[in-house]
Amino acid sequence: MHKITMLAKLSKLHKDYYKDCIDLYNRIKGLTSSRTILILVFGSVALLFFITNFKFNKEYNLIIDPGHGGANVFQKDGKIVKNERWDPVKGKYLSYYLTGMEADTYHEHLVMLELGKKVKAYLDLTQSFWGWQRFEDILRVFSKANNGNKGNKFERITLKAKLTRKDSWNHRYEKADKIHINNDYRLYDYPDERARLRHGRLSFINHHRPSLVVSLHMTPAGKGNEGGMAGVLAPGFRSYDLVRRILLKEEKMKEWKKSYWNGKVLDSNKKAGWKQFELMNADSWGYFHGYRSNKKGNKVNFNAARGIRHNLVSWAYKESDNWAKDYRPNQAGPYALKYRDFEAKGKFWDRERSQAESWRREGGPKLYGGDNHYATDELLRFVQHGVRILRPAMREKKKIGKIHFPFASSYALPIYVNAIVAFLEIGYLNRKRDRELIIGEMDAVAKSLAVGIYSLYAGLKIEALPDGTYLDDSKSKVNESDDGYTPKGEALDLEKYGDYFKSSVD
Ligand SMILES: [Zn+2]
């Protein structure tokens, strides 16, 4: 009995299948209707149009780097342990982990992580056809066209952004009493639990081969500083070498006095009252020898070890994997601790003297700081300009703080990656007005940065603000910035670098 039912079922299935086949045949037959022919013809024309007009978008790799993310590691006795800058010569960490700024309940690393994620989300829109439509809508709020393009046209480019981190240490619900808590947040390479050397943030960035790195930070404002925003720059070889040669009496002090960097060097210890030349000199010792110097610049400060930093990164300019065995600080050469005995020899120093590094860090459209300075300043201007376009309430006077002169020092990020580095102190975390901008209007800030990043690659025609004025028309020009607040909208000239951005790793 059971068998018969099964057979009946199978035969019904067979019948259904046969019926489906007939239906399909009839449908195909029906395709010859005039409506279908019309659709086919239109489809072919559209396809032909697509094929003949199709151009591959230019694609760019870039990095969004929300600063910090790690923790202070405490010993049992409550003391903080050094946990950054692994030095294979000494077999220990040279520095404390830089956890970033804190003010009230606000943490720089958390705020910058949120901002970084938002900027990336907007840039990701450029990666798909429908996303691009949305991105173009945002561009249209800012501008009518690319620089040089007529009409309502924006060059389609694809921006492949990567974040240097997706969380902070305290998202992981672990105690900060183990040295490995900072494994994903260090700048320099470090040994893991099994003593294998792992990539820090600088190596990670270089391995992504970006053409642009946007690093997001907030900084503390000292007494009398009402806040605002500022860039962070690292001078190039020629400026540090100038200082070195002045100390060796091969160059005159007046050459430093003429330098654009004079007046911009970060004063990391204001109480000590060091002059700009003395600060620059201590930086240059750190840059050349791995230790900062005393105030006079005639002695190494052994308490201020910076490490041979280009060897603390996995990239094409690391001398060798066994460099620590060749470290001879008492001999003439690239590791000499005596100024006179120092020789800038080797892969890294050749890179430092190269044209590409000069373009990145010296001279350029802003007269000093090279393309890094231009990109940094341009993005800060995009925030100033963009937030006022997007949020009418922010157009009121004094709602947004000014752009200060950049901080200049031998910062690691702008030196040890082959990419244009826009290092932004986008606000002062301990100033309420800056928090109202960066936290309160985060979406508008993120959109402005994303549009600014697009403009650095493709250029953008900058329009007046909705009231018909430009920021720089303002009578009350309170800024210290050398030439105003309105973005230039000029794209960076990346072509001139050739393969440089890709060549930092083998
Ligand atoms: Zn910071």
Helix axis angle, 129-142 relative to 108-124, nearest 10°? 110
What does the alpha-carbon distance between residue 189 and residue 429 come to, in Å, rounded to a whole number?
Answer: 29
Distance 135 CA to ligand 1 centre (A): 29
Closest CA to 308 of 331, 336, 339, 268: 336
In a domain, 275, yes or no: yes
Q: Look at the chain and count its residues.
A: 506
pLDDT for 99 beyond 90: yes
Distance 216 CA to ligand 1 centre (A): 7
Distance 429 CA to ligand 1 centre (A): 10
Task: Looking at the structure, tell me whether residues 241 and 285 fall in a common domain.
Answer: yes
Task: Looking at the structure, tell me whether residues 383 and 480 fall in a common domain.
Answer: yes
Distance 163 CA to ligand 1 centre (A): 16
What stretches of 80-207 adopt beta strand conformation (E)? Answer: 80-81, 84-87, 92-95, 102-103, 106-107, 157-163, 190-191, 197-198
Helix, strand or coil for residue 47?
helix
Domain that includes residue 299, residue range:
237-346
Task: Looking at the structure, tell me whether residues 133 and 264 fall in a common domain.
Answer: no
- Choose one of 53, 68, 83: the last residue of a domain: 53
In a domain, 130, yes or no: yes
pLDDT for 316 beyond 80: yes
Distance 268 CA to ligand 1 centre (A): 14
Contacts of 236 (CB under 8 A, 6+ apart): 352, 357, 358, 360, 361, 362, 370
Question: Would you state the structure tokens that stand for residue 123, as one six-digit string?
Answer: 């840039």
In a domain, 157, yes or no: yes
Q: How many CB atoms lie within 10 A of CB 359?
A: 20
Task: Looking at the structure, tell me whether residues 211 and 139 fall in a common domain.
Answer: yes
The secondary structure of the chain in percent helix, strand, coil, rounded to multiples of 5, reads: 40, 15, 45
Distance 6 CA to ligand 1 centre (A): 74
CA distances in angstroms from 474 to 48, 188, 303, 397, listed in the order given: 52, 44, 48, 10
In a domain, 37, yes or no: yes
In a domain, 351, yes or no: no
- The per-residue pLDDT for 25 is 65
- The per-residue pLDDT for 177 is 83
Distance 96 CA to ligand 1 centre (A): 14
What stretches of 75-135 adopt beta strand conformation (E)? Answer: 80-81, 84-87, 92-95, 102-103, 106-107
Mean pLDDT for the stretch of residues 65-78:
92
Task: Looking at the structure, tell me whether residues 96 and 195 fall in a common domain.
Answer: yes
Task: Looking at the structure, tell me whether residues 341 and 241 fall in a common domain.
Answer: yes
Residue position matching structure tokens 């002169």: 405
Question: Would you state the structure tokens that stand for residue 127, as one six-digit string?
Answer: 């990666």
pLDDT for 464 beyond 90: no
Residue-wise pLDDT for 138-183, tens only, equals 999 999 888 766 666 799 999 999 999 999 999 999 888 888 999 9
- The per-residue pLDDT for 32 is 58
Task: Looking at the structure, tell me whether residues 438 and 341 fall in a common domain.
Answer: no
Q: What percent of the chain has pLDDT over 90?
A: 75
- The per-residue pLDDT for 75 is 83
Task: Looking at the structure, tell me whether residues 49 and 62 fall in a common domain.
Answer: no
Distance 144 CA to ligand 1 centre (A): 35
Across the chain, what does the average pLDDT equal?
90
Distance 66 CA to ligand 1 centre (A): 8
Residue-wise pLDDT for 254-304, tens only, equals 999 999 999 999 998 777 889 999 999 999 999 999 999 999 888 899 999
482 pLDDT band (50/70/90 cuts)?
Answer: low
Beta bridge partners of 371: none
In a domain, 352, yes or no: no
Give how many domains the chain has, as a whole number. 3
In a domain, 297, yes or no: yes
Q: How many CB atoms lie within 10 A of CB 159?
A: 24
Task: Looking at the structure, tell me whether residues 275 and 216 fall in a common domain.
Answer: no
In a domain, 421, yes or no: yes
Distance 367 CA to ligand 1 centre (A): 26
Task: Looking at the structure, tell me whether residues 339 and 383 fall in a common domain.
Answer: no
Mean pLDDT for the stretch of residues 477-495:
78
What does the alpha-carbon distance between residue 486 and residue 506 come to, in Å, rounded to a whole number?
Answer: 40
What pTM value is reported for the model? 0.88
- Helix (H), strand (E) at residue 127: none
Distance 427 CA to ligand 1 centre (A): 10
Distance 101 CA to ligand 1 centre (A): 6
Distance 228 CA to ligand 1 centre (A): 15
Q: How many CB atoms lie within 10 A of CB 332?
A: 12
- DSSP label at 311? G
Task: Looking at the structure, tell me whether residues 312 and 367 fall in a common domain.
Answer: no
476 pLDDT band (50/70/90 cuts)?
Answer: very low
Distance 140 CA to ligand 1 centre (A): 32
Distance 108 CA to ligand 1 centre (A): 7
The backbone torsions φ and ψ at residue 456, rounded to the nearest 5 degrees and listed phi first, read -65, -30
Residue-wise pLDDT for 356-405, tens only, equals 999 999 999 999 999 999 999 999 999 999 999 999 999 998 999 999 99
Taking a C-beta distance cutoff of 8 angstroms, is the pair 172, 73 a contact?
no
115 pLDDT band (50/70/90 cuts)?
Answer: very high
Task: Looking at the structure, tell me whether residues 268 and 203 fall in a common domain.
Answer: no
